Amino acid sequence: MSSLSKNLDDIKIEDVLEKVRSYVEDEEQIQVIQKAYDFAYEKHKGQYRKSGEAFIYHPLNVAMILTTIYADYETISAGLLHDVLEDCDCTPEEMEEVFGPSITKLVKGVTKLSNINFSTENEYLIDYYKKIIVGMSEDVRVIIIKLADRLHNMRTLWALPEDRQKIKAHESLEIFAPIAHHLGIHKIKSELDDLSLRYLKPDVFYDIAEKLNKTKIERDRIVYDMQNEITDLLNEHHIPHEIKGRSKSIYSIYNKLDKGKKFSDIYDLLALRILVNTEQECYLTLGLIHSKFRPLPKRFKDYVAMPKPNMYQSLHTTVFGIEGYLFEIQIRTYEMDEVAENGIAAHWSYKENKGSGSAANLTSTTEQKLQFFKSIIDLSHDKMTNEEFVNSVKDEVLNNNIYCFTPKGDVIELPRGATPLDFAYKIHTKVGETMVGAIVNNNIVPLDYELQDNDIVKINTNKSSTPSKEWINMAKCSATKNKIKAFFTKNEREIYIERGKYSLEKELRKRKLVFSEFLTDENIEKICEDIHVENLEEIYLAIGNGKATVNGVINVIHKEEDVTPKVVKVNPKSIDADIIVNGIDKVKVNLANCCNPVYGDEIIGYITKGNGITVHRITCHNLENMDERIVDVTWNSNTNKRYLTCLLLHMNDNENHVLDIVQSVSMMNISVDGIKVIDKGDHATYELDCYVSSLEQLDKLILMIEKHRYVEKVERAMK
């Protein structure tokens, strides 16, 4: 158990102040803490904790925990006040009057987190994660106070009934300890781990504790001897240093036992930490130790040159020490040690904050350094369902991650199971989007290769390459998946907008309206209101994706009657034909099978000799030089017929994609009449016959087919 867990029942505010004075010089700040204590004392008067002591001991202990990680005066004051808003007769306004907005905001943040009636039910969990993340992105100090609060509650957990103990212990292990880890606050993390285990698996906990106790004297002797050997070695080379015997947490031993190791293997592994002044001395020390004690292969890790994303720096090695015992040795500078113990909190130490008077630089600079923050803030911005959100927080933020390296040695943190795709997107979205391959430890790997801890990953890109839809399934992180999806939605959107604009232009031309005159600001506003969109781009989008029709849009400004006086006289409802021939009823009409017009196409009639009227698309090349025999025709909007259409699919390769295409066409509820390969070159061409209800549906179909990676282009056949 770490030194933090001392029972501090008789702790006084003077103890807290004394500790704060060791790193805060400004007496005014000290007085604020005193005032916060007096305020909390008055407010909590008469309240008692389940453990029997006066309530004020809880906030007092929280404040004491905060001093061990050198929290600033605002955080400590808020720690003292953290339960006042929730449990006492005090409004935020009253608090703000006394303590100002900054401290009040912290207390409000902590209160918000506590207000959730937390259970393991999913709904609450989602809420909880979201609030934690919001809290983090607003002010990380809120979370640090919450961690101190939880740590003290865990220390006094014995006062709760057993079922509550288990729930709290479980939460601490699943949520709070990982957060402390990500913030790099090792002190709090390891104590939370140990306390959780003590309540979740008391048998295991006490068994390990007892075994450790039994072997303690022997272990202490060996460590002591090894320590002396190293001290002599370093003194010989004039390296000033300090050596600490390091006790492993019970939880970490439990974890190793859980992975199948024997207790004897674990306790044989003795641990030492060497602190020196400079980075250079770290490496010198390592060299000296390796020259005297044989290192165990593959156990050396250099987190000095390549710090972990939570800023941890240290050299790790395992050597065969005296009497053949294995020793785990950490070598780091004093400064690195402070970061390793206090994590993010180490960076608000008084040295850095002198003059600025608050932890402002903690919330700005340090957060930027932490990839962890970036990743959760990214997560909360991504569009995802609540369930996806919880899963990704669990997978990607709270779970143990792997660390991979770029060829230059930058560390990229990824969840277990991540692939080179995740790696590439994590470096930069652009790198991901133009990725063409990956090389891991000098071997070419597939894009869905599962990366391992310490892999060196090189991503090959090609500027003109774009993502493939299959990537969504190959990526592990939801952030990656979302980025890939976003690429496609963005592309779709652009195509729709282009199409919408094109249709509008075409229809305006047809109605002899001038584009720029039609799209005045006033008209755009009217249309937006009518079809419930925000701006011109969205009007195009609505037309392009079929949410609005081009005629509907124009009719908002110009009623169709005004511009097309040659309107059909026949009541369309009275006729069952799908084509109306300029007012003539009961005439035989055929759809031309060279260009296969569908409802919505611009069409024209061609009077044949003795076989009625054949209807072509206006663009059909068979109509050239037939001017005098042409007659105006329009679609009867009252039809629900389906029209045979013929598409030519130009492929990127010559593999067989027939089944895939038929499947995806059927998914759109479009029936396929036939599909055949008409050209088998390097780039195959397919002919697809199918039935669609309208041009609108046909456009969607074309767009959908074009999205397949293997499809180069789709066009309507014209025979």
Query: Which residues are catalytic, by number?
Result: 86-87
Minimum Å distance from CB 146 to Mn ion?
A: 9
Which parts of 662-701 interact with Mn ion (CB under 5 A)?
Answer: none
Through-space distance between the first and last CA atoms of the chain, rounded to whole angstroms = 84
Count of C-beta atoms within a 10 Å radius of residue 504: 21
Minimum Å distance from CB 434 to Mn ion?
A: 50
Strand order in the sheet with 241-245: 241-245, 270-276, 326-333, 315-320, 301-302
Q: Among the candidate windows 44-52, 80-88, 464-472, 534-542, which touches Mn ion by CB under 5 A?
A: 80-88
Minimum Å distance from CB 149 to Mn ion?
A: 4
SS3 451: coil
Over its C-alpha atoms, the chain yields an Rg (Å, rounded) of 36
- Sign of torsion over alpha carbons 330, 332, 337, 341: negative
**Angle between the N-to-C axes of helices 371-381 and 478-510, in degrees from 0 to 180, rounded to the nearest 10:** 40
Nearest Cα neighbor of 205 from 241, 165, 161 is: 165
CB 233 within 8 A of CB 267: no
Pick the closer one to Mn ion by CB: 83 or 337: 83
Q: Among the candidate windows 76-84, 232-240, 310-318, 480-488, which touches Mn ion by CB under 5 A?
A: 76-84
Pick the closer one to Mn ion by CB: 88 or 557: 88
SS3 674: strand
Count of C-beta atoms within a 10 Å radius of residue 614: 20
Site string for Mn ion, 555-594 (x = CB under 5 A): ----------------------------------------
Both tokens of 52, joined, read 């029997």
Residue 107 as a binder of Mn ion (CB under 5 A): the answer is no
Residue 601 as a binder of Mn ion (CB under 5 A): the answer is no
Count of C-beta atoms within a 10 Å radius of residue 83: 23
- How many residues line the site for Mn ion (CB under 5 A)? 2
Minimum Å distance from CB 114 to Mn ion?
A: 7
Minimum Å distance from CB 221 to Mn ion?
A: 43
Residue-wise DSSP of 694-711: -HHHHHHHHHHHHTSTTE
Minimum Å distance from CB 104 to Mn ion?
A: 17
Pick the closer one to Mn ion by CB: 40 or 705: 40
With a CB cutoff of 8 Å and minimum separation 6, the contacts of 388 are 478
Minimum Å distance from CB 82 to Mn ion?
A: 6
Minimum Å distance from CB 153 to Mn ion?
A: 7
Both tokens of 102, joined, read 């900054």
SS3 230: helix
Pick the closer one to Mn ion by CB: 83 or 367: 83
User: How far apart, in whole angstroms, are the C-alpha atoms of residue 633 and residue 613?
Assistant: 10
For the chain, the helix, strand and coil percentages under 3-state DSSP, each to the nearest 5: 55, 15, 30
Pick the closer one to Mn ion by CB: 143 or 675: 143
User: How far apart, in whole angstroms, are the C-alpha atoms of residue 210 and residue 206?
Assistant: 6
Q: Among the candidate windows 144-152, 156-164, 398-406, 681-689, which touches Mn ion by CB under 5 A?
A: 144-152
Q: Among the candidate windows 79-87, 397-405, 491-499, 595-603, which touches Mn ion by CB under 5 A?
A: 79-87
Minimum Å distance from CB 97 to Mn ion?
A: 23
Pick the closer one to Mn ion by CB: 84 or 270: 84
Locate tokens 């202990």: which residue? 61
Count of C-beta atoms within a 10 Å radius of residue 417: 13
Both tokens of 222, joined, read 């060996």
Furthest-apart CA pair in the chain: how many Å?
A: 115
Instruction: Find residue 690's DSSP bridge partners.
Output: 645, 672
Q: Among the candidate windows 149-157, 175-183, 515-523, 648-656, which touches Mn ion by CB under 5 A?
A: 149-157
Pick the closer one to Mn ion by CB: 159 or 436: 159
Minimum Å distance from CB 47 to Mn ion?
A: 12
Q: Among the candidate windows 143-151, 412-420, 511-519, 573-581, which touches Mn ion by CB under 5 A?
A: 143-151
User: How far apart, in whole angstroms, are the C-alpha atoms of residue 605 and residue 2?
Assistant: 91
Pick the closer one to Mn ion by CB: 149 or 328: 149
Helices (H), 237-333: 250-258, 263-268, 279-292
Residue number, nearest CB to Mn ion: 149
Pick the closer one to Mn ion by CB: 17 or 81: 81
Pick the closer one to Mn ion by CB: 180 or 542: 180
Residue 149 as a binder of Mn ion (CB under 5 A): the answer is yes
Locate tokens 């456009």: which residue? 699
CA atoms within 13 A of residue 306's CA, in its CB half-sphere = 17
Q: Among the candidate windows 82-90, 640-648, 658-666, 708-716, which touches Mn ion by CB under 5 A?
A: 82-90
Would strands 643-651 and 634-635 be described as parallel, antiparallel, or unpaired? unpaired
Nearest Cα neighbor of 362 from 138, 687, 141 is: 141
Q: Which of 83, 341, 455, 601 binds Mn ion (CB under 5 A)?
A: 83
List of residues contacting Mn ion (CB under 5 A): 83, 149
